[in-house]
Amino acid sequence: AKAAKVPMIVAINKIDKPDARPERVRTELLQHEVQVESLGGDVVDVEVSAKNKTNLDKLLEMIALQAELLDLKTNAARPAEGTVIEAKLDRGRGPVATVLVQRGTLRVGDIVVAGAEMGRVRALISDQGETIEEAGPSVPVEVLGFNGPPEAGDRLAVVENEARARQVTSYRAHQKRENAAASISGMRGSLEQMMSQLKTSGRKDFPLIVKADVQGSLEAILGSLEKLGTEEVAARILHAGVGGISESDVTLAEGFNAAIIGFNVRAHKEAAAAAKRNGIEIRYYNIIYDLVDDVKKAMSGLLAPTLRETMLGNALILEVFNISKVGKVAGCRVTDGTVERGANVRLIRDNVVVHEGKLSTLKRFKDEVKEVQSGQECGMAFENYGDMRVGDVIECYRVETIQRSL
């Protein structure tokens, strides 16, 4: 709202919950330089409950008052213009777009274009679910009659005839195809460069195809997935769209070894069979949080693990022996901690590490033991190394592999 320099009305929702704290919300808004009227500012705020429909009438009253103060006017007699708020494919009604009319009046029978889609308005459904003949400025309405679902954010406009509508949408569809082709070309090129990319930047891609029931949900999902990216790993969206999962989605996923995510949609019968045949994973969700959480866990698996070193103990070499069939063995005293057989060791000479390896032999007297405590003497031998000298220090440690998460 600040970037667009438009007035703001704050609706504080979920006040029906026992732990609701609207005052805390008002205080936190101050961190974003939003000061509501109750705190001495000029921003209107209303406490509401969408679930119980509490204060919704008051919210509408405040919106109307704000519009009156701003003296908002438009010409209702001109051809309609508006913005697509939501779009979906409805099995019984076909493509359905929720549109907010901003100028003029939209009527049944009008020829409209929105993005790369066109159609003749077959029906208008109000926010009350009633069929209406026309919708004026500031009226949200479901529009039936499009050839295909437009995208949320597309501008809707009434045009004079079908020829003009086809001309506009043909041009936009051509541009859309060219952009998609360029994107696919870029993806194929980047796959071939993936190894060099990993060597230079170390960044790994997690390829995904995302299908959702409506455009608004799709945009919310893509926005959430984009935020998961780091310098090491990122979700790469090969294709995102509204509608069921098709065979072409499965074919694309197979080419890029990608997973397919369906949000409130299902795969067509042929697509499901192709996915099963080619080993392509399809996951279905109806809660965005669960979807993002699962992708986050999967992406965490691509992160290189962290190696954590735990010091066990130190030993001082007192003597060095040559033993047949074994080689050089160091007679040592453990000065602190413990020394364990099979642990990692460093051989330190004059404060310089001269060797790192594994402890292959650990004996106390003539017996092989698992560990030796501080103050005790023992015999040690390293794997494939024998240059040990009296006075050297043996540092014993354990390395743990810790799986990282985003």
Q: For the residues 256-278, what does the mean pLDDT come to?
A: 92
**Helix (H/G/I), strand (E/B), else coil: 227:** coil
Model confidence at 403, in pLDDT bands (50, 70, 90)? confident
The highest-level CATH class for domain 81-167 is mainly beta
Handedness of CA 188, 191, 196, 199 (dihedral sign): positive
- pLDDT at res. 201: 53
Long-range interactions of 345-349: CB distance < 8 A, separation 24+? 345/380, 345/382, 345/394, 345/395, 345/396, 345/397, 346/394, 346/395, 346/397, 347/382, 347/385, 347/388, 347/392, 347/393, 347/394, 347/395, 348/392, 348/393, 348/394, 348/395, 349/389, 349/391, 349/392, 349/393
CATH 3.40.50.10050 holds for 202-300: yes
Same CATH fold assignment for domains 81-167 and 306-402: yes
Chain segment 29-46, per-residue pLDDT in tens? 999 889 999 898 989 999
Interval 185-241: pLDDT, tens: 555 555 455 445 545 555 788 899 999 988 888 989 999 999 887 878 888 899 998
Q: If pLDDT is split at 50, 70 and 90, which confidence band does 1 have?
A: confident
Residues 362-389 have a mean pLDDT of 91
Question: Tens of pLDDT along 269-281?
Answer: 999 999 999 999 9
Say what the pLDDT of residue 195 is.
47
CATH of region 306-402, choose from 3.90.980.10, 2.40.160.60, 2.40.30.10, 3.40.50.1220: 2.40.30.10
Q: What is the residue extent of each domain of the chain?
A: 9-70, 81-167, 202-300, 306-402
Q: What is the average pLDDT value for the chain, to the nearest integer?
A: 88
